[in-house]
């Protein structure tokens, strides 16, 4: 297919919206058996076109991760905030519990922690803006970054480690010495001293 | 230097989020929250007519605080006695959706407001209003940035009409109109393999 850029974008938009809308029609006609298939097809379309969906769609609030039906509170979804002790910190956090009445899958969102981290992130960005780009302020921000970022930073660290190894340092020193000698040899004073 | 680069890359990734999907007229998620005219006026009205009243006389209004209570109220149908006595009453749901409320909590609220059997006037409040809710909320309860007020005889009608006038009505979304949707599956008795039917003749 030979489409130019704008045509292709238009095609992608209609294609994806169609799939997205189909998902929303299902609860209205009370035929939700194929919702999972439709959702899969939608996600496949998204993947093929390399689109980045808003987080609200992908984090499990919009569609049931088990059966793929569109969540509609009060119709096929029961929501409740429950207190739950988190295993890692031992503190009692509040958790939002979604229960899909279609397939009775339960999904939990721990939001207290997420909220805190977001606040910290905002704070650190604010500090960054106010105090310029000192290295100390950037570091906590980097820790909060996503996995992809972490991988790249690990790579960078590995590179640095390699550069700092003893043999490398020795090589560098040797090179520096050699260049010094070469530069000296071209100097007139050196030439006179040698002679 | 590398961290700066990473920050730039991060912002670039954020920009790439595919938004057209939320703008499509069928689901219309971009307009989930109604538009409020004269926000500061509404905020002031709510503060003077609801939160300060609650602060001084907590029992004067029929209110629900917090996610669980609000959701339970909206999901529940008006009891049969209520239906006989009076039509489903109107409720006002004030939500601080611009403060630091976890987005998962708020995700279903506009949908619930549309699906609910009550007539819900959804009022998004400006940033920073959450502090007023903090003041009037009972100490042992979470309010989650949500306050639901049932319109009853104690409720100021003037205030109600002022708010309703300025808050855009929640736009009806076609995919949430279950009763009116014309698409339906009709049970059919035509056999799927018509060939075998023919051959039997």
Which tens digit of pLDDT belongs to each residue from A99-143? 888 888 888 888 664 444 444 444 444 444 444 444 444 444 444
For residue A59, the chain B residues in CB contact (below 8 A) are 104
pLDDT at residue B110 greater than cutoff 60: yes
The tally of domains found in chain A comes to 3
Q: Does B115 sit within 8 Å of A72, measured CB to CB?
A: yes
For residue A33, the chain B residues in CB contact (below 8 A) are none
Which of A42, A70, A74, A95 to mutate to probe the B interface, most B CBs <10 Å? Answer: A74
Is A23 inside a domain boundary? yes
Nearest CA in chain B to A118: B100
- Opening angle at CA B147, ends B73 and A77, nearest 5: 40
Which of B6, B29, B188 to mutate to probe the A interface, most A CBs <10 Å? Answer: B6
For residue A138, the chain B residues in CB contact (below 8 A) are 3-4, 7
Is A191 inside a domain boundary? no
Q: Report the pLDDT value the prediction gives residue B170, as an integer from 0 to 100.
A: 67
Q: Does A61 sit within 8 Å of B107, measured CB to CB?
A: yes
Q: Report the pLDDT value the prediction gives residue A114, as an integer from 0 to 100.
A: 46
In whole angstroms, give the CA distance from residue A42 to residue B185. Answer: 23
pTM above 0.80, yes or no: no
Higher model confidence: residue B83 or residue B102?
Answer: B102
pLDDT at residue A47 greater than cutoff 60: yes
Q: Report the pLDDT value the prediction gives residue B12, as an integer from 0 to 100.
A: 64
In whole angstroms, give the CA distance from residue A29 to residue B179. Answer: 9
Instruction: Say yes or no: A82 and A53 in one domain.
Output: no
Min distance A188 CA to chain B CA atoms (Å): 40
In this predicted structure, which of A25-34, A52-61, B5-14, B143-152 has the lowest mean pLDDT?
Answer: B5-14
- Opening angle at CA A115, ends A113 and A118, nearest 5: 110
pLDDT at residue B185 greater than cutoff 60: no
Q: Report the pLDDT value the prediction gives residue A139, as an integer from 0 to 100.
A: 44
Q: Does B100 sit within 8 Å of A118, measured CB to CB?
A: yes
Higher model confidence: residue B149 or residue A114?
Answer: B149
Is A135 inside a domain boundary? no
Is A159 inside a domain boundary? yes
Q: Does A114 sit within 8 Å of B66, measured CB to CB?
A: no
The whole domain housing A90 covers 77-111
Instruction: Say yes or no: A11 and A55 in one domain.
Output: yes
Closest Cβ opposite residue A20 in set B10, B13, B21: B21
Q: Report the pLDDT value the prediction gives residue A42, as an integer from 0 to 100.
A: 92
In 10 A of CB B111, how many CB atoms? 23
Which of A78, A79, A98, A134 to mutate to probe the B interface, most B CBs <10 Å? Answer: A79
In whole angstroms, give the CA distance from residue B201 to residue B193. Answer: 14
In whole angstroms, give the CA distance from residue A100 to residue A65. Answer: 9
Using only the alpha carbons of chain A, give its radius of gyration: 29
Task: Assess contact for B169 and B122: CB atoms under 8 A.
Answer: no
In whole angstroms, give the CA distance from residue B134 to residue A106. Answer: 31
Is A140 inside a domain boundary? no
Of A140-144, B85-89, B127-131, B174-178, the range with the highest mean pLDDT is B127-131
Q: B140 CB near a chain A CB, below 8 Å? A: no
Q: B141 CB near a chain A CB, below 8 Å? A: no
The ipTM estimated for the assembled molecules is 0.71
Query: How high is the mean pLDDT of chain B?
Result: 75
Instruction: Say yes or no: A41 and A82 in one domain.
Output: no
In whole angstroms, give the CA distance from residue B193 to residue B162. Answer: 63
In whole angstroms, give the CA distance from residue B196 to residue B144. Answer: 62
Q: Report the pLDDT value the prediction gives residue B2, as an integer from 0 to 100.
A: 63
Whole-Å CA distances, A78 to A61, A73, B66: 12, 6, 16
Closest Cβ opposite residue A25 in set B74, B109, B183: B183
Higher model confidence: residue B149 or residue B180?
Answer: B149
Is A143 inside a domain boundary? no
Average pLDDT rounded to a whole number, residues B85-102: 77
Longest dimension (CA), chain A: 100
In whole angstroms, give the CA distance from residue B46 to residue A64. Answer: 36
Q: B150 CB near a chain A CB, below 8 Å? A: no
Which of A16, A60, A81, A156 to mutate to probe the B interface, most B CBs <10 Å? Answer: A81
pLDDT at residue A172 greater than cutoff 80: yes
Q: B71 CB near a chain A CB, below 8 Å? A: yes
Q: Does A71 sit within 8 Å of B17, measured CB to CB?
A: no
Q: Does A109 sit within 8 Å of B102, measured CB to CB?
A: yes
Give the percent of chain B with pLDDT over 90. 0
The end-to-end CA distance of chain B, in Å, is 82
Instruction: Say yes or no: A9 and A55 in one domain.
Output: yes
Is A41 inside a domain boundary? yes
């Amino acid at each position: 297919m030979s489409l130019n850029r704008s045509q292709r974008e238009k095609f992608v938009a209609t294609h994806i919206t169609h799939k997205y809308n189909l998902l929303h029609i299902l609860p209205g006609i009370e035929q939700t058996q194929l919702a999972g298939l439709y959702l899969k097809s939608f996600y496949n379309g998204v993947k093929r076109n390399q689109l980045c969906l808003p987080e609200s769609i992908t984090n499990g609030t919009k569609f049931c991760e088990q059966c793929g039906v569109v969540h509609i509170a009060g119709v096929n979804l029961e929501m409740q905030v429950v207190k739950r002790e988190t295993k890692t910190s031992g503190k009692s956090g509040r958790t939002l519990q979604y229960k899909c009445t279609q397939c009775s899958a339960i999904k939990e969102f721990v939001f207290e922690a997420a909220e805190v981290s977001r606040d910290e992130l905002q704070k650190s960005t604010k500090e960054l803006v106010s105090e310029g780009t000192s290295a100390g302020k950037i570091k906590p921000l980097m820790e909060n970054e996503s996995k992809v970022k972490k991988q790249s930073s690990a790579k960078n660290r590995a590179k640095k480690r390699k550069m700092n190894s003893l043999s490398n340092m020795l090589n560098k020193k040797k090179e520096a010495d050699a260049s010094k000698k070469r530069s000296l040899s071209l100097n007139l004073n050196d030439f006179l001293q040698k002679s | 230097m590398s961290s700066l680069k990473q920050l730039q890359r991060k912002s670039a990734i954020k920009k790439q989020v595919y938004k057209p999907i939320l703008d499509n007229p069928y689901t219309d998620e971009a307009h989930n929250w109604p538009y409020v005219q004269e926000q500061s006026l509404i905020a002031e009205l709510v503060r003077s007519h609801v939160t300060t009243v609650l602060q001084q006389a907590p029992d004067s209004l029929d209110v629900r605080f917090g996610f669980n209570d609000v959701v339970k109220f909206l999901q529940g149908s008006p009891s049969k006695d209520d239906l006989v006595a009076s039509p489903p009453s109107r409720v006002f749901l004030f939500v601080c959706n611009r403060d630091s409320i976890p987005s998962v909590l708020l995700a279903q609220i506009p949908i619930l407001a549309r699906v609910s059997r009550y007539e819900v006037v959804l009022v998004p409040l400006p940033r920073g209003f959450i502090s007023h809710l903090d003041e009037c909320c009972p100490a042992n309860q979470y309010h989650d940035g949500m306050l639901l007020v049932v319109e009853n005889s104690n409720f100021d009608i003037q205030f109600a009409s002022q708010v309703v006038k300025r808050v855009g009505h929640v736009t009806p979304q076609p995919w949430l109109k279950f009763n009116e949707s014309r698409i339906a599956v009709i049970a059919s008795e035509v056999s799927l393999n018509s060939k075998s039917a023919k051959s039997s003749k």
